[in-house]
Amino acid sequence: MAELAAKVEALMRAVGSPSYDKLAAAIRAGGGPTISGAYIQQLRTGARHNPTLQNLQALSTYFTKTLGFPVTLSYFDPDTPVDQPWVDAQDEERVAQLQRQLEDERQLTARLTDHGIRRIAARYGDASPATQRQILAIVETLSNLPATDVEPTAGADETKVGE
């Protein structure tokens, strides 16, 4: 299994090892979330190993633009080899597939943000990657329900489904 730190290390080396602060500034300048150089350093050294979906999306977006080939969210999964983006970049068909996957990931991230998932992420952010994937699968299923099946709960910021 490839650790997140090794993947951040490989990506940073591939783009010339910019300083952490320059990388954070470039992510913010590209419309990404507020992220600090210190946080990126912690990801790279393994001191932090469970970033938010928004921060992973920001890293994915930055490295995809900078490297010129897709670096999807699935790259950050522990089961994905460190060299996978470079292997995939050699296959035009795979690159096209990953470009579509990147778009799907961006849309999912936007939908999750739109649905107020920040609360769920804050509550379950320290959950294992497998648990996080299960939660995302549940949220994705719920987001595909017809709008008439979701009713706001009176006086709360939660929803009831299918009542």
Neighbours of 53 (CB within 10 A): 20
Contact 150, 141 (CB under 8 A): no
pLDDT at 120 over 70: no
Instruction: Render pLDDT for 71-104 as a digit per residue (tens, 0 to 9).
Output: 988 899 889 999 999 998 999 999 899 888 888 8
Instruction: Render pLDDT for 59-75 as a digit per residue (tens, 0 to 9).
Output: 999 999 999 999 988 89
Res. 25 pLDDT band, cuts 50 70 90: very high
pLDDT at 121 over 90: no
Average pLDDT over residues 8-18: 95
pLDDT at 156 over 60: no
pLDDT at 19 over 50: yes
- Residue 38 in any domain: the answer is yes
Q: How far from 151 is each of 37, 113, 120, 146, 162, CA to CA, in Å? A: 41, 18, 18, 11, 8
Share of the chain above pLDDT 70, in %: 73
Share of the chain above pLDDT 90, in %: 40
Number of domains in the chain: 1
- Residue 159 in any domain: the answer is no
pLDDT at 14: 96
pLDDT at 4 over 70: yes
- Residue 150 in any domain: the answer is no
Question: Model pTM?
Answer: 0.65
The CATH code of the domain that includes 29 is: 1.10.260
3-state SS assignment for residue 81: coil
Range of 104's domain? 4-145
- Residue 18 in any domain: the answer is yes
Contact 110, 140 (CB under 8 A): no
